[in-house]
């Protein structure tokens, strides 16, 4: 097992290496590969009007497709006047580019109003797949989020004709500030259920429609008799999702969280916050559509594990013109401006342990077998209910708010900034961490020891 001094050596090498990399000044003369701009504005969505944080004024934010194993620079402008922002690239390992993780007060200072930050991303070889990106300050992520696809130069290991995105979000009629205020209040004021789910940025709320023009269902267009890769992204904040298609019950999972899997067939999906799946969907043939007598099929999304169930829909729409005139008539479509009158499908109650231990990696991934484990770190995660609600890992609490009323648990500057400035007081103490279940109680960091790469912070 490496000694603490090896670990510190790795950190120094990392810091020196990063200093050399950053010799180039990122001013207005630097041309990033991609540019994003964060604003706050009133948006009308699912029939509701809400003051929301948006990336490039779009809900969801624009889809980014980045190449595997190549450096990509993304400049993020904070155009808000009264809010900080950072962007987190959900699911990407940032071992070589830790300053780009987008975690305020861990990897960086938040981007102040009217400033920008250049994120340097380089995905690892073999991690082509489905990700998303989102703002990481306050409750901004509920709307400031979009799909992120990592593409390999090699063809994917499964054949399909085309792909579609199913991007899931919640819509609350409360503002970010109201939700956040309630969640950090004493006693906690629960936000309540969302007023709607959004599928690809659209939906029809069951409550308080003030603008019927934005109350519309998403339509995902497909052609008959093709194979599609459906990329599901649960870019949700507080809700657990159950999802199914009407009359399409063979979903073949081929990817989970950015890694290809062996094929595993399911009839529906359950998705927790941050999860992604790709499934292959073989669309109906023209003959099948003819016997169904319809070209539209509902997609149904329901919340789980709460006292009330929020249900919303989207439409899988076939292009009937590919099937000769017999089936290409308009009355085979359902309206986009109304939810179905009766619930089309019966999604099962919560399946506990959904997909646990059943997905297998497509390629061997060197993951150690249980018999090869040499050290176990137990992380005891608790929501303390003692007048306050707060998440703790092994009794250590994290907050990115320096004005936290409980106690000052965060560093006064981001860890990586402090380490960059050679402040050794921020170095995780390996011995202390070992004797405290893996978490150093002084710096509030965990001491992961890597012999071949830089240590992870946070």
Ligand X SMILES: *[C@@H]1O[C@H](CO)[C@@H](O)[C@H](O)[C@H]1NC(C)=O
For ligand X, the binding residues (CB under 6 A) are: 34-37, 41-42, 51, 56, 62, 82-84, 109-110, 112, 173, 195, 207-208, 246-247, 286, 322-324, 344-345, 402, 421-422
Instruction: For the CB of residue 379, give the shortest distance to ligand X in the complex, in Å.
Output: 26
Instruction: For the CB of residue 380, give the shortest distance to ligand X in the complex, in Å.
Output: 28
Of residues 254 and 295, the one with the C-beta less far from ligand X: 295
Of residues 168 and 347, the one with the C-beta less far from ligand X: 347
Instruction: For the CB of residue 160, give the shortest distance to ligand X in the complex, in Å.
Output: 19
Instruction: For the CB of residue 252, give the shortest distance to ligand X in the complex, in Å.
Output: 18
Of residues 13 and 338, the one with the C-beta less far from ligand X: 13
Instruction: For the CB of residue 341, give the shortest distance to ligand X in the complex, in Å.
Output: 13
Full 3-state SS string of the chain: CCCHHHHHHHHHHHHHHHHHHCCCCCCCCCCCCEEEEEEEEEEEECCEEEEEEEECCECCCCCEEEECCCEEEEEEEECCCCCCECEEEECCCCCCCHHHCCCECCCECCECCCCEEEEEEECCCCCCEEEEEEECCCCHHHCCEEEEEEECCCCCCCCCCEEEEEEEEEECCCCHHHHHHHHCCCCCCCCCCCCEEEECCEECCCCCCCCHHHCECCEEEECCCCEEEEEEEECCCCCEEEEEECCECCEEEEEECCEEEEEEEECCEEECCCCEEEEEEECCCHHHHHHHCCCEEEEEEEEECCCCCCEEEEEEEECHHHHCCCCCCHHHCCCCCCCCCCCCCCCCCCCCCCCCCCCCECCCCCCCCHHHCCCCCCCCEEEEEECEEEEEECCEECCCCCCCCCCCCCCCCCHHHHHHCCCHHHCCCHHHHHCCCCEECCCCEECCCCCCCCCCCC
Of residues 140 and 216, the one with the C-beta less far from ligand X: 140
Instruction: For the CB of residue 361, give the shortest distance to ligand X in the complex, in Å.
Output: 31
CA angle 187, 189, 194 (to 5 degrees): 160
Of residues 392 and 401, the one with the C-beta less far from ligand X: 401
Instruction: For the CB of residue 130, give the shortest distance to ligand X in the complex, in Å.
Output: 17
Of residues 111 and 254, the one with the C-beta less far from ligand X: 111
Of residues 191 and 261, the one with the C-beta less far from ligand X: 191
Instruction: For the CB of residue 172, give the shortest distance to ligand X in the complex, in Å.
Output: 8
Of residues 156 and 344, the one with the C-beta less far from ligand X: 344
Instruction: For the CB of residue 324, give the shortest distance to ligand X in the complex, in Å.
Output: 4
Of residues 42 and 352, the one with the C-beta less far from ligand X: 42
């Amino acid at each position: 097992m490496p000694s603490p001094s090896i670990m510190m050596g790795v950190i120094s090498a990392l810091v020196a290496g990063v200093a050399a990399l950053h010799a180039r000044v990122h001013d207005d003369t630097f041309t990033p590969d991609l540019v994003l701009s964060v604003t706050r504005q009133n948006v009308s969505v699912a029939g509701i009007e809400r003051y929301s944080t948006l990336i490039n004024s779009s809900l969801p934010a624009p889809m980014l497709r980045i190449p595997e194993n190549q450096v990509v620079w993304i400049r993020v402008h904070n155009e808000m006047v009264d809010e900080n922002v950072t962007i987190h690239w959900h699911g990407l390992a940032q071992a070589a580019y830790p300053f780009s993780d987008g975690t305020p007060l861990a990897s960086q200072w938040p981007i102040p109003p009217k400033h920008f930050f250049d994120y340097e991303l380089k995905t690892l070889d073999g991690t082509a797949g489905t990700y998303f990106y989102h703002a990481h300050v306050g409750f901004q992520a509920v709307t400031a989020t979009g799909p992120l696809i990592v593409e390999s130069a090699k063809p994917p290991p499964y054949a399909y004709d085309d792909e579609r995105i199913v991007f899931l979000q919640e819509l609350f009629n409360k503002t970010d500030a109201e939700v956040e205020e309630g969640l950090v209040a004493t006693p906690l004021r629960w936000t309540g259920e969302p007023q709607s789910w959004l599928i690809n940025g659209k939906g029809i709320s069951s409550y308080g429609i003030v603008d019927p023009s934005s109350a519309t269902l998403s339509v995902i267009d497909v052609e008959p008799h093709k194979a599609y890769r459906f990329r599901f992204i649960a870019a949700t904040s507080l809700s657990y999702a159950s999802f199914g298609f009407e009359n399409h019950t063979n979903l073949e999972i081929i990817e989970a969280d950015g890694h290809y899997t062996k094929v595993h067939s399911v009839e529906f999906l359950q998705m927790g916050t941050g999860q992604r799946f790709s499934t292959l969907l073989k669309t109906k043939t023209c003959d099948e559509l003819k016997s169904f007598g319809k070209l539209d099929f509902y997609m149904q999304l329901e919340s789980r594990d709460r006292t009330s169930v929020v249900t919303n829909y989207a439409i899988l729409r076939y292009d009937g013109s590919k099937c000769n005139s017999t089936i290409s008539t308009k009355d085979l479509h359902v309206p986009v401006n109304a939810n179905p009158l009766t619930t089309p499908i019966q999604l099962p109650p919560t399946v506990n342990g959904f997909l646990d231990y059943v997905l297998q990696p497509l390629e061997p991934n060197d993951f150690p077998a249980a018999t090869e484990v040499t050290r176990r770190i137990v992380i005891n995660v608790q929501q303390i209910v003692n007048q306050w609600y707060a998440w703790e890992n092994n009794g250590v609490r994290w907050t990115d708010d320096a004005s936290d009323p409980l106690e000052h648990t965060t560093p006064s500057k981001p860890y990586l900034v402090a380490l960059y400035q050679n402040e050794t007081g921020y170095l995780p103490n390996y011995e202390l961490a070992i004797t405290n279940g893996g978490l150093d109680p002084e710096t509030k960091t965990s001491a992961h020891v890597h012999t071949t790469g830089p240590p992870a912070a946070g």
